[in-house]
Structure 1
Amino acid sequence: MIALWIGIGLLSLLAIVLLVWPLRRASGLRDAQLGFEAGDRYNAENVAIYRQRLRVMEEVLAAGEIGRERFEEDRLELERRLLEDAGNHRGRSLQAHTLGRWLVPVVLLCVVIGGLALYDHFGARRDLALFEVVQSLHDAPLERQQNGLESEAERQPGNPKVWAELFPLYRDSGQYDKAADVVETLIRLQGRQPWLLAQLTQAEFFAAHRTLTDRVQALVDETLALDPRQPVVNDILGIEAFDHARYGEAIDFWRKALAGYDDPEATQALQRVIDIAQQRMTDNDGSMTQVGLRVDLTLDPRLANRLPGDASVFLVARDSHEDGPPLAVTRTTLNALPRLLTLSDANAMTNTTKLSQAERVDLIVRVSASGQAKPQAGDLYGRLNDVAVSSSDKLSLVIDHVVPAP
C-alpha cells in the first residue's frame, strides 16, 4: 500500500506541475504581446498613404485642374478617414496576468480529489489490501489465517474475493457449516452459478455426514440442471453411491467428474477410487477387506458431567507426517460412551484424502459443547499419536483433557 500511495502522490504532483507551469509563463507572454502592439506599423503606413495622396492633390491644384475650395474639401475628407482608421485599429487593453489566479488552487484540489474518488471507485485498492493480508498470513497457523480473513471480510463484506479466500479454510478444516455460510454469501454477490452451487452442495453434504438430505438433493438437481457435467456434484454422487455399495453408479458418476477436473492430483485420486470400486464389483459378495482402525473411546471419570450428554463427540484421524485435512472423521455423542468406533476409508471427508493412503496417523477425539468441528474453550479431548494404520489391535483412547481458554 505504501508504494501505491507514493505512486498516486507522484502522479498528483505531475498533474499540479502541468497546471501551474502555463501560469508561470503568463507574465512573459503578456509583455511580448504589449511589445508587439507597441511596434505595430499599421498607423504609420496609414500616415504615409495620407501624405502621398495629399501630394497628389497639391500637384493637381498647382496644375489648375481643381479649385482651392475643392482641394480643401478633399483634404478634410482624407484627414477624416485617417483619423477613423487609427481609431478603429486601437486594440483592447490586455488584462493583468494575475487575474483569476484564485481559481488555480480550486482546480488543483478538484483534480486531486477527483482522481482519488475515481481510483476508489474503479481501482483495485480493496483487492490490494486483501493480497497483503493473504501474504502476511501465508505461513501462519490455520486459526490465525481464519481470524485474519474474517476481519478482512468485515471490512470488505461486498468483495467476493475475500469470501473466496475464506471458504477453503473452513472446508479443509471440517467447518462445513461455516463453509456453507460463506458460499451462500458468494451466491448473493455473484449469483447462482453452477460452480458456486456445487461448492455449497459439497459443504452441505459433508455437514450432513455424507448424506443426501432433501436440501442436498435439491442443490444437486439445481446444479446439474445448469451443468450436467459439473465435476464436484458428480464426485459427491459417486461418494454417496459408493458408501451404499452401489459401485456401478459410483463409477459412472466418478467418470463424469473425471472428465470435468483439470487438476492432475484430483484426477489421479478419482482414478484410484474408480479402481477400488471396480475391484469391489468383482467380489462375489460385493465387499472387500479394507484398512480400518478400531478405537475404544472412554471418558475420564474426573471430567464426567462437565458437558451435557447430547454433546457431539468427533473422532478424527490425521496423517502423522503431513499437514492437511483429516483423513477420516466419525461422530457420536457423549452419552453413548464408552463406545467402540471404527475409522476406515468409508469415513473419508474427500476422495483425495483417504486413511489407506497414510502409514501412520494421529487420532484425536474431541467433545464439542457447541457441536462445531472447530475447537473451543471448555471442549474435552484426548489423543493417540503415531498409530500404525495397518494395526489390527483394538486401540484405547481416553478423553482426559480440557481445551483451555485463549
Structure 2
Amino acid sequence: MTLLWVLMGAMALVGMLMIIIPVIKYQDQHELSGDVINSMVYRDRLKELDQDLQEGRILASDYEPLKKELELTLLDDVEASQPDQKLKRSGHLSLVLPLIVIVPVAAFIVYWSEGYRPEVGQWFDQQKKMERILPILMAGDYEAVEKEGVGLDDLIRALQKKIQTHPEDHRAWYMLGLSYLQLRMPQQSELAFRRALSLDPDNVDYVMGYTQSALSANGGELTTEIRQNLELLIQQQPDNPKPYMSLGMALFQSGDPKSAVGVWQAYLDRPQTDPRAAELLQKSVAMARQQSASMPEARSEHADPAAQTAVKPVINVRVDIAPEVKSQLKSSDILFIYAKAAQGPPLPLAVVRQPVADWPVAAVLSDENAMTPTMTLSKFDKVVVQARISPTGNAIPQSGDWVGPTQVLELKSGAQSASLRIENRMP
C-alpha cells in the first residue's frame, strides 16, 4: 500500500511540473518587456527623423529639438513601464504558487471520488498474507493454513503467481490442481495435474489427483484409462484408501453397485486401514447393497424380456419462478431441470438444459435424456426432481445458483407431473 501512495505522489508531482514549468517560462519565451518595446520604437522613430532630415522634410535647426523631445518621451515611457513590470512579476508568482497546492489536491480528490476502492488496499494486504502463508502450504501444513481463513480464490491467485515465476515447481502445479478440484473446475484441475505429472511422472499423489479430476470431468463415467490407472494405484499402494474410494464410486455411478461393493470391501478386509476411511467406506457399502437390493427384478439385466417392454416412466415438469428472481436473471443464464435417485448416486438420471426463457417452462424427463445409458429413470423407484438456474452454465451446483424446493416422486409406468418454483439463491 505504501508503494501505491509513493507512485501516486510521484505522478502528482510530474503533473504539477507539466503545468507549472510552461507557466513560468511563458513570458520569457513569448512576451517582450516594456523597455525593449520602447527602445525598438525609439530606434524606429529616430530612423524616420534622420530620413526626414536627409530628404528635406525638416530643417536642420528643427532636427536637434525633435531628437531631444524623442529622447525625453523614451525616458518617460521607461519610468512608466517599471511599475507595470513589477505588477506582471507579482501576478506571475501569484499564479504559480496556488498551482503547487491545487494540482496535487485536485488529483487526490479525483482519485478518491472516482478511482479509489477499498478493495485495492484489501488486495495488497491479502498479497502480503499469502506471501507468508504459501510456504506453509507448500510444506504440507494444511491445518495451519486453514486456521488463517484463506479462501480458495486467494490461494489460487497466489499459486498462479508462484507458477509464473517458477513454472517447473511441480508441487505448486499439484496444489493448484487440488484447489481447482475443490472449486469443481475439473477441466482446469486436470490440466494442472497433468502438468505436475509431466514434471514428476512417478509421484503417486499426482496420478491420483489426475485420475480424480478426469473422473469429475467425465461426469463420473469410468473410462478404460481411468480404471487402469486406479487399479495400478491399488497395486502400488494397497493401504491407500483413495484409489479404492474413487474406483468404487465410479463403478457405483456407472450402475454397477455389486462391483463397487467388491472394491470397497477389498480395502475393508485389509489388516491395516485408516479408521476414517473405513467408516466412510462401510457406509458406502451399506448404501450400495441397499441400492442393489432395491432394484426391481423387472429392471435388471436378467429380467423377463416381456416385462422390459412395459411403458417406461415419463415426468412432465413445470417450472415457475418468483418475480424477484426473474428481475435478476440474464439472457445468458442456463436452466437445468433434472431428476436424481432418492437413494443412490448423485449423478442425475435425466436432465434438460436450456437458456432461460418465458415462464413458466415445461420440460419432459425420461430415459431419452439420461446422462449415461446405464443410469436411467426406469431403473429406480423413487426420484427427486429439481430445477436450478446457473449464471455460469456449470452443470455442477455452486454458490450463486438459483434453486427452489425439490419434489420427490414414486415412479410408475407412464406419465407423471411435477411442479417446481425457483425462489432462493445458493449461499
TM-score normalized by structure 1? Answer: 0.44
From the CA coordinates, give the structure whose radius of gyration is larger: 1
TM-score normalized by structure 2? Answer: 0.42
